[in-house]
Structure 1
Amino acid sequence: MFNQEPNNDYTMIVRQTPEGELTTTSLVIAEGTQVQHKNVLELLRKNQPDFEEFGPLTFETRKGSPLPQGGFAKSTTIAVLNREHAMLLMTYMRNTVVVRQFKKQLVKAFTDMERRLAAKPAFDPSQITRLEMAQMLLNAETERLALEAENKKMQPKADAYDCFIDASGSYSMGVVAKMLGVGQNWLFRELRNRGVLIPRGAMRNTPYQRHMGYFEVKAHRYEQPNGEEKVSYTTYVLPKGIDFIRRTLGFTRIDPMLPIPMN
């Protein structure tokens, strides 16, 4: 199915999730390598701890297609794989000619999709209809009310943290890492693995939309030597985000005396 590369269109191999992450599936890899899907799933489950060093493995059950006589075919369980999952899986498979060919296609697919996303034109508000604008405003208000309700329920568990949570300003990820007693790189990696931060692309290490209430992202424009203007993004943690990170990573306490507000 994937031996040909018409127009270098890899969208049948790699897809983008609503959160912006590029993924493929165990079924795509099974078809591309001409290996039975059940054997691919068995390989994933047998080595699941290895794969989950690069983020949690997600398994989905897809409903079977309709049958002519009525009803549906048997449902299929598939694994959704990020880039690291997919590449590790390929190294665990027997290195046949077909597997080697598909390895190259898989690498090209992820690279091509990343380039497409990076080259995607900036958001153009003039192209939004009134109905779409109204829906966006409604969604924003719904999210605001939900976040407001959630914030009222949040109560820090440490007395020292009670004083800190009321502070204003945001904090760098490096400072938050010191509060937890870990390295900054470790903190970024674990938050990516837990689906809090985007793992790659132009928005790497910035939070997914569903977690934006705990962070602040600042854009920095800079000019390259060739005169091309670029934008980089830096993630900061809001005060309420400190306890969110602590709970997400399973820490029982933090040291609130370390942080220095970042303006």
Structure 2
Amino acid sequence: MIKIANFYPAQLNNNSDGGNLRALVHRIEARGLQAKVREISLGPIESLDQVDIILLNSGLNSSLPLLADDLIEHKLEHLKSALARGTSVLAIASGFYFLGKKIHLGEQSFSGAGILPLEYRESNQRHVGNTIVSFSDLEKPLVGFANHRGDVLLEDGASAFAQVIKGYGNDQEGTLEGCRLGNIWATHLHGPLLIYNPHFADYILAKTPAAKNLDLNQKDMDDEAEWQAHEKIKERAMVQ
């Protein structure tokens, strides 16, 4: 069994990112395994120590103060414990901003969870378009759709999630996309990301604590539709 915690589904539900959960469940069940999904809402929670994957999808920037406060007050120690155990985290756009150290929304600035070495600064500059990135652990690139307003500022020495080949990254000029720290993958790529990139979905599954006790080898999985969508995004990115 692979256990997935879907954080803040009422607030983090934009840009079709809910498809990431469906993609993971599909690829788990297609292997003849069981997926157990737990929704994590506002307020106190029990331990996350048995969770294999945590999902934080994208939402509205206006919800970030609420989510940052809730995560810090009710969930941060549980999250740190899960990360120490090896739990994987996929966080999309605003879903990772409040994992960083500081968030700046207009005249308002407040602290994030302090897990990721970054700050987010909202602006009127919107980064929108199909995007291709190089992810160092995989031979094939990742594709998705960027749609975010403002810049992510990585600390010196911090690792980006990927390098932009075509499209948009953390800011208007740079080639860095997202942030990576251990088993946390933080990216702006929508799509949903894991439907357009089945190889990355399998990569995440292979990194989970449960993987060492399960057979995750490919089981004659039909990925034709996913790879067709992947190639269409690549084509659109190259001509935009």
TM-score, reference length from structure 1: 0.24
Query: Highest CA radius of gyration, 1 or 2?
Result: 1
TM-score, reference length from structure 2: 0.26
Tell me which protein shows more strand as a share of its residues. 2
